[in-house]
Amino acid sequence: MTLEVPAHRAQAIGKPASRIRQKNEEAIIKAAENEFARHGYKGTSMNTIALNVGLPKANLHYYFTNKLGLYIAVLSNILELWDSTFNTLSADDDPAQALNSYIRAKMEFSRRNPQASRVFAMEIISGGECLNEYFNQDYRTWFQERAGVFQAWINAGKMDSVDPVNLIFLLWGSTQHYADFAAQICRVTGRSRLTKQDMEEASNNLVHIILKGCGLTPPTDS
């Protein structure tokens, strides 16, 4: 599942990225994440991103020839990061171990990439038009296969009978909440920011609540 990135030159010409190109693209995407998360797509300028990266605007256009291409690259980056943790899910896996690992991985992504998660959330809330190509039949098939693994666990008596689709939505929403609504969490709890320890404690609670809700015993070596 690959989200097409229009006007992304490295992909368009089909050449492997050099280390310098890869490093610059990563810096550009990270700076773009911050700007898109703070100001939205319309409120973000390529010039501001270039200034934050420390590159001339002309150099920025060498990597991404327009703002839409850069915006979609940001979305693609976080989606591939999230989905990669689900790609190897198998009916042969132990559901308690698999769900424990997945929840903790997603929470770590939320800790390390909060801005990218917020950009994704804003895009979905606004209608998700830039993700139309991503959420195509291939993606729906991939999603159905993930739900099929949960159903296989249920059929084998490995976990309680819960709706696999709603379980996946719960996993996504609960883990991304700590990135998308960090400001709300901090205000409610009186924190200035969410620390690594805060995220670890939240992970422990999510693992306990979700696994218990599926009739599973959380791993003791977490």
Measured CA distances, 182 to 45, 193, 198, 217 (Å) = 25, 8, 11, 29
CA distance between the termini of the chain: 30
The DSSP result for 54-84, as a single string, is T--HHHHHHHBSSHHHHHHHHHHHHHHHHHH
Half-sphere exposure of 135 (CA within 13 A, CB side): 9
Taking alpha carbons only, the member of 44, 22, 24, 42 closest to residue 34 is 44
Q: Higher-confidence residue: 183 or 133?
A: 183
Q: How confident is the model at residue 17 (pLDDT cuts 50, 70, 90)?
A: low
Neighbours of 42 (CB within 10 A): 8
Q: How confident is the model at residue 13 (pLDDT cuts 50, 70, 90)?
A: very low
Q: CATH 1.10.357.10 in the chain: give the residue spans.
A: 85-213
Per-residue model confidence (pLDDT) at position 11: 45
For tokens 């929403």, what's the residue?
173
Per-residue model confidence (pLDDT) at position 186: 96
pLDDT at 23 over 90: no
Q: CATH 1.10.10.60 in the chain: give the residue spans.
A: 9-72
pLDDT at 110 over 70: yes
pTM: 0.84
CATH topology (fold) of 85-213: Tetracycline Repressor; domain 2 (1.10.357)
Q: What percent of the chain has pLDDT over 70?
A: 91
The CATH class of 9-72 is mainly alpha
The DSSP result for 119-176, as a single string, is HHHHHHHTT-GGGTTTSSHHHHHHHHHHHHHHHHHHHTTSS----HHHHHHHHHHHHH
pLDDT at 14 over 60: no
Per-residue model confidence (pLDDT) at position 4: 44
Tens digits of per-residue pLDDT, 47-82?
999 999 998 888 888 899 899 999 998 998 888 888
